[in-house]
Amino acid sequence: MNQVLVVDDEAAMRAALEANFRRQGWRVTTASGTSEALARFRQAPVPLVITDMRMPDGDGLRVMQGVRALVPETAVIFLTAFGNVPEAVNAMREGACDYLVKPICFEQLKDAAARVLGPRAGKEAVKGDPEFIGSSPATARVIARARQVARTDADILLEAESGTGKELLARLIHRSSPRRPRPFVAVNCAGFPDTLLESELFGHVRGAFTGALASKAGKFELADGGTLLLDEIGEMPLSLQPKLLRVLQEREIDRLGDTRPLRVNVRVIATTNRSLRTQVAEGKFRADLFFRLNVIPLSLPPLRERREDIPELVEYFAHKYRPALPAPSVQFTPEVLQKLQEYDWPGNVRELENWVRRAMVLSTGAVPAPELLPEAASGKTEDPPAGIEAGKSLRELERTLLEKTLAATGGNRTRTAGMLGVSLRTVRNKIREYGLPPRRTP
């Protein structure tokens, strides 16, 4: 079970965060100030501390220094109502895992918590690298290459299918590099509207635009001295790409509304689940930015090309979810593992993790029932979906699939993106490309 210590002098904030985390199945401890937080941590250390920055008896930095003195690998996320840029940068330089400005969205906080705890989960009892599980020849080659390039400061372009573990590999590169003591900051380029991504990356000063009530440090500034992960770089709008190109070339940023450039020392790792060369050819990505990012190209093979990793991954995920189960857990026998290795896992490691969790929850016997096995592994076959017929072009099939998924979700683009495993921006672009009717529901 995930555990967190929430530190805030505002009782309402403590209560709200505690209630939200408990609904997610977390074990929560709270403290109203710095001294109480350190006392509670000494009694029962936890892997994650979420602390307010400013409190009557001290600040969040004192909390972080205290818990790190006891357990150095403790993850710390700061919350503040002030959004002070130097304060944010200092916190990241001191080793904070993330820094969020109040009022916060709990989904954003939950995602940040999951991200910083992911590499730590179950690492004491699992074989292999704690951030990247697997010992197949294909995985061993990837890890060896990653550690080799980690010694340089060159930017990296990592191309791989969704669900393969691109962010985990990026974190491995950072932790194997001389930049390890400095921040690792990740930003999902597909997770922000076009109008907000620029501010998220480069920051802004107070009054730069309507609603900019305080200055905010961008991800480049927070990652100064460390590594910045630009996840799904192929989703970055064309209008923003020239500014990113200039930052990569000059290593300085222009915060929105500021008149002075700011120097940054950042190593960039960009990831994509599609071919950027193809996007360049289609006019959807700038060629000069592609070549600037593609200093060191890396690829991560899909799970179907490293099936030998599946038993280790199953063991890892079973260990991760077993403590949350009320009864003795299902066992994954050699026969079950063999079946799993026969399946192609189009969703890669993410799909395997979801399957392991589902099997552990739904199994009533000692081993997963046959009906819980993936379709291909269980020997079942299905008729091809309606509209899939020989001779149709990929473009026609793509349009048909998009139309049917939109119909199934009542036109909800967010749910459609989730079902198809693509970003919301991709769904919007495809709707425009194929001239489909506007959405009927939000």
**What distance in Å separates the CA atoms of residue 66 and residue 400, rounded to the nearest whole number?**
57
Task: Tell whether omega for the bond before 385 is within 30 degrees of 0, i.e. cis.
Answer: no
pLDDT the model gives residue 264: 92
Domain of residue 10, CATH code: 3.40.50.2300
- Write down which residue in 248, 273, 299 finishes a domain: 299
pLDDT the model gives residue 130: 45
**What distance in Å separates the CA atoms of residue 237 and residue 49, rounded to the nearest whole number?**
35
pLDDT the model gives residue 390: 56
Q: Are residues 289 and 322 in the same domain?
A: no
pLDDT the model gives residue 74: 86
- Whether the predicted pLDDT of 45 surpasses 90: no
- Whether the predicted pLDDT of 387 surpasses 60: no
Q: Which residues pair with 250 in a beta bridge?
A: none
Q: Does residue 377 lie within any of the structural domains? A: no
User: How confident is residue 274, by pLDDT bands cut at 50, 70 and 90?
Assistant: confident
Cβ-based burial of 154 (10 A; exposed 0-12, middle 13-18, buried ≥19):
exposed
**What distance in Å separates the CA atoms of residue 424 and residue 310, rounded to the nearest whole number?**
30
Domain of residue 340, CATH code: 1.10.8.60
- Whether the predicted pLDDT of 199 surpasses 80: yes
Q: Are residues 281 and 156 in the same domain?
A: yes
**What distance in Å separates the CA atoms of residue 48 and residue 5, rounded to the nearest whole number?**
6
**In the predicted model, what is the mean pLDDT of residues 229-250?**
93
pLDDT the model gives residue 416: 80
pLDDT the model gives residue 277: 93
**What distance in Å separates the CA atoms of residue 143 and residue 260, rounded to the nearest whole number?**
40
Q: Are residues 110 and 12 in the same domain?
A: yes
Domain of residue 426, CATH code: 1.10.10.60
Q: Does residue 380 lie within any of the structural domains? A: no
- Whether the predicted pLDDT of 231 surpasses 90: yes
Q: Are residues 73 and 183 in the same domain?
A: no
Q: Is the pTM of this model over 0.85?
A: no
List C-alpha distances in Å: 320 to 47, 73, 329: 14, 18, 12
Choose from 53-67, 185-199, 312-326, 355-369 the range with maximum mean pLDDT: 53-67
The amino acid at residue 151 is R
- Write down which residue in 277, 299, 321 finishes a domain: 299
Q: Are residues 294 and 314 in the same domain?
A: no
pLDDT the model gives residue 48: 93
What 3-state DSSP class applies to 54? strand
What 3-state DSSP class applies to 16? helix
Q: Does residue 440 lie within any of the structural domains? A: no
User: How confident is residue 408, by pLDDT bands cut at 50, 70 and 90?
Assistant: confident
- Write down which residue in 243, 273, 299 finishes a domain: 299
Cβ-based burial of 44 (10 A; exposed 0-12, middle 13-18, buried ≥19):
exposed
Q: Which two tokens stand for residue 65?
A: 């220094």
Q: Are residues 20 and 106 in the same domain?
A: yes
- Whether the predicted pLDDT of 405 surpasses 90: no
pLDDT the model gives residue 58: 86
pLDDT in tens, 316-366: 888 888 777 765 678 898 899 999 999 999 999 999 998 998 888 888 778
Residue 103 or 223, more confident: 223
Average pLDDT, the chain: 83
Q: Are residues 165 and 268 in the same domain?
A: yes
pLDDT more than 90, % of the chain: 34
**In the predicted model, what is the mean pLDDT of residues 213-235?**
89
Q: Does residue 232 lie within any of the structural domains? A: yes
Q: Are residues 249 and 341 in the same domain?
A: no
Q: Does residue 270 lie within any of the structural domains? A: yes
Q: Are residues 235 and 180 in the same domain?
A: yes
Ranges 186-195, 212-221, 390-399: which has the least confidence: 390-399
Q: Which residues pair with 268 in a beta bridge?
A: 228
Ranges 80-89, 118-127, 322-331: which has the least confidence: 118-127
User: How confident is residue 290, by pLDDT bands cut at 50, 70 and 90?
Assistant: very high
Ranges 13-27, 309-323, 376-390: which has the least confidence: 376-390
**In the predicted model, what is the mean pLDDT of residues 98-126?**
68
- DSSP secondary structure letters along 197-230: HHHHHH-B-TTSSTT--S-B--HHHHTTTSEEEE
pLDDT the model gives residue 398: 78
Residue 331 or 307, more confident: 307
Ranges 74-83, 96-105, 433-442: which has the least confidence: 433-442
Q: Does residue 136 lie within any of the structural domains? A: no
Q: Are residues 248 and 307 in the same domain?
A: no
Q: Does residue 385 lie within any of the structural domains? A: no
User: How confident is residue 73, by pLDDT bands cut at 50, 70 and 90?
Assistant: confident
User: How confident is residue 266, by pLDDT bands cut at 50, 70 and 90?
Assistant: very high
Q: Are residues 71 and 14 in the same domain?
A: yes
**Which residues form the domain of 413?**
394-434
First to last CA, the chain: 35
pLDDT the model gives residue 128: 36
Domain of residue 239, CATH code: 3.40.50.300
Buried b (16+ CB within 10 A) or exposed e, 277-294: eebbeeeebbeebbebbe
pLDDT the model gives residue 267: 95
Cβ-based burial of 29 (10 A; exposed 0-12, middle 13-18, buried ≥19):
middle
- Whether the predicted pLDDT of 121 surpasses 90: no
- Whether the predicted pLDDT of 369 surpasses 90: no
Helices (H), 186-305: 194-202, 219-222, 241-250, 276-281, 287-293
Q: What would you report as the CA-atom Rg of the chain, rounded to the nearest whole angstrom?
A: 23
Domain count, the chain: 4
C-alpha atoms less than 13 angstroms from C-alpha of 336 in its C-beta half-sphere: 20
- Whether the predicted pLDDT of 123 surpasses 50: no
Q: Are residues 182 and 269 in the same domain?
A: yes
pLDDT the model gives residue 311: 92
Q: Does residue 383 lie within any of the structural domains? A: no
- Whether the predicted pLDDT of 376 surpasses 70: no
pLDDT the model gives residue 417: 77
